[in-house]
Amino acid sequence: MRLFHFSEESSIEIFVPRVKENRRDMPPVVWAIDDAHEFTFYFPRDCPRIVYTRSNEITDEDNIKFFGTTKSDIVVTVENDWYERIKRTTIYRYRLPTDGFRQGENFRHFRHTGQPLDSRLALGQILALRFAEDEEFLVLCQKAVETGMTNEAIKKSITRWRADHIRV
C-alpha cells in the first residue's frame, strides 16, 4: 500500500502540520491517504464534496436514488459554483513514507502486550486497526492475523472508534 499527500503547492520539501479549518479541535497534522481513496483529494483544498460508493448491502431504492442509470460504483458530488475553480486548479501528489504508520501501531501493541505486532499483518490492516479503541485493537489484531481480515472488514468490525490525531 502506498500513502499520498495532495496539495495545490507544487514544491513541498518539508511537510508542516496544519490545523484543519473544519477540525480546530484536532492538533496540527499532515493528511495522508491510500491508493484506494486518493480520488477524494483530486479537488482544491477547501472544495466541499460528498463521496458515496455502491456496496453489496445497498437497497434497490437507494441504488436508484443515488446511482440512477450510472454503472459507476463511486460518485463524487460538488457544488456547481466550484466547477471553474476545479478546472483551473492543479493538484500535486506527494508520496509519503509508510514507516511511521506501521511503527506507531507497533509501539501501541507493544505498550499493551509486551510484544510487537504480528509480522503477518499488512500495512492496510494496520492502518485500519489504528481506529479501534485499545481493548478492541488487541482483539482485532489477533482476529486479523488468524482470519486474514481485509482492511474494510476490520473497519466494519470496529464498534468503538477512536480518532487518529497523531499522524504526521
* Three-class DSSP labels, the chain: CCEEEEECCCCCCCCCCECCCCCCCCCCECCCEEHHHHHHHCCCCCCCEEEEECCCCCCHHHHHHHHCCCCCCEEEEECHHHHHHHHHCCCEEEEECCHHHHHHHHHHHHHHHCCCCCCCCCHHHHHHHCCECHHHHHHHHHHHHHHCCCHHHHHHHCCCECCCCCCC
Q: What mean pLDDT is predicted for residues 65-80? A: 93
**What CA–CA distance (Å, rounded) separates 93 from 32?**
10
Give the model's pLDDT for residue 100: 63
Q: What mean pLDDT is predicted for residues 28-47? A: 86
Give the model's pLDDT for residue 39: 93
Which three cell numbers, joined as nine digits, stand for 60? 434497490
Q: What percent of the chain has pLDDT over 90?
A: 46
Give the model's pLDDT for residue 168: 39
Q: What mean pLDDT is predicted for residues 76-96? A: 95
Q: What mean pLDDT is predicted for residues 119-146? A: 90
Instruction: Write the CB contacts of 98 (distance below 8 Å, at least 6 apart in sequence).
Output: 1, 2, 3, 123
Give the model's pLDDT for residue 24: 77
Give the model's pLDDT for residue 19: 80
Q: What mean pLDDT is predicted for residues 66-94? A: 94
Answer yes or no: is pLDDT of 99 > 70.
no
- Residue 102's pLDDT band, with cuts at 50, 70 and 90, is low
Whether residue 122 contacts residue 149, with contact meaning beta carbons closer than 8 Å, is answered with no
Give the model's pLDDT for residue 140: 94
CA-closest candidate to residue 108, choices 167, 160, 148, 150: 167
